[in-house]
Structure 1
Amino acid sequence: MLNSTATKITSLLLLSFVVMSCQKNDTDLLQEAQSCLNTSPSREARNCVSKISSISTPAASKLKCAAIYIQEGFGAASSLINGLNDMNNPSGGGGCAGNCSPTFAVINNFNFHSGDNLNSQNQAKNIATANEAVEVCSHTESKGYIQVSSLFKIGTMAKMSAFGALVSPTPGQEPTPTQIQAAIVGLPQSEIGQLVTTTYSLACTNITNPSDSTKKYCDQLSGSIGTYGSNFSAIGQCLLGKINNEAYVCP
């Protein structure tokens, strides 16, 4: 009887060892997700990172963040960081009217716009994607990723709002830079203000050797926060005003 019991226990221990040895650790799963992103079509990007959904490390968050941009037809978030260099261009770029900030040119390129954007439900879907990117990328501990996601949110909100304001649009019609400027004025100031505050806290503090573009964006965020404290509406109004007109004086 004792021998039988011992045999059963030994068998269970051996089975447990086999099962545990076959389980993949986090590093294996991260490597598989990375390889999948590198080799699969962009439409499979989100599927590639589904296997690491329960891993919450910064490395996993970077892959999840990258997958959002790849799925939407952009390169990985890391490749988009180069797009921040447009912050170094002179004011008045991006086809805007007047003395708009270089930030305008950046958000004119940084926006999610998949599908038929003359459809209000599709506009909402793109804005939801921008919100998701902000949330996911905030856990990467990458200041560049966080800056990119905040600019994408502003750009997506502005462009979708401009689409929504088109009068009797024709299929395929895109809003002009002037129409996007008009849309920027009407964006929800409090929501933008909260984004400014969070982005500045995560991406602009305790930063070493920042690029010129990073310094410029962080300076713009800092100037918008000013002495407003937690008055998100005032902060948002200030940033939106500065995007449309670099000489804008915040109230």
Structure 2
Amino acid sequence: MLAIENLTKSYNRGALALKDISFCIEPHTFTAILGPSGAGKTTLLRCILQLVKLDGGRVWFQGQDLTNCSAKDLRNSRTQIATVAQQFNLVRRRSALENCLGGRLQELPLWRCFLGVFPISLLNEAMAALERVQLLDVAFQRADRLSGGQQQRVAIARALTQRARLILADEPIASLDPETAHIVLGLLRSLCTQEGLTIVCNLHQVELAKQYSDRILGIQAGELVLDMPTHQLSSSDINRIYRS
């Protein structure tokens, strides 16, 4: 589904943020990316989405070279890639339902977006997505009235409404308590196994990565230092990722 080839990105007068990174992601898998703060995990996700210009390498998504395609093809590919961020990225004054609909606004005429008149079929999809994340009862509540865990589940429901095939999650549980973190990661895991979505998730918590992921990628100082099935991860492997 996703292939990264020799990806390199530099900031701040040539300082390398990512150094010659290559890996492939198979469909319907949950991949956890581990690494210390500043290792380059967030930059990697931004490079996959082509939100920053690469210094070298290529990003392939479902056979489409995102680094050398037209703006139209890039937009089309992005519709199948959803992001779940640490700070939720919801429109705080909009309801949970309206935030879910935001994943499909690019398909609608401008007048519908402006007047808030949405097709019944799309409203039904958004409501079904909220039901899937067990938030149907708060569909009409403003996002800023919801708890952190509820807001993160709304972000996941938005990805479902978007019909995304790949979810890039950047520290999605960093602002959540331990119990809620398990709920969110368990939901992402179930979307992978039951709905066939592909998950790539930046995490700091090694034990949670071991519990929920199929595969571990380890990044240290912008370099890929580890790539293995989760069940093979050892203490020495963890030390390779987090060595000073």
Higher helix share: 1
Fold equivalence (TM over 0.5): no
Higher strand share: 2
Give me the TM-score of the superposition, normalised by structure 2: 0.27
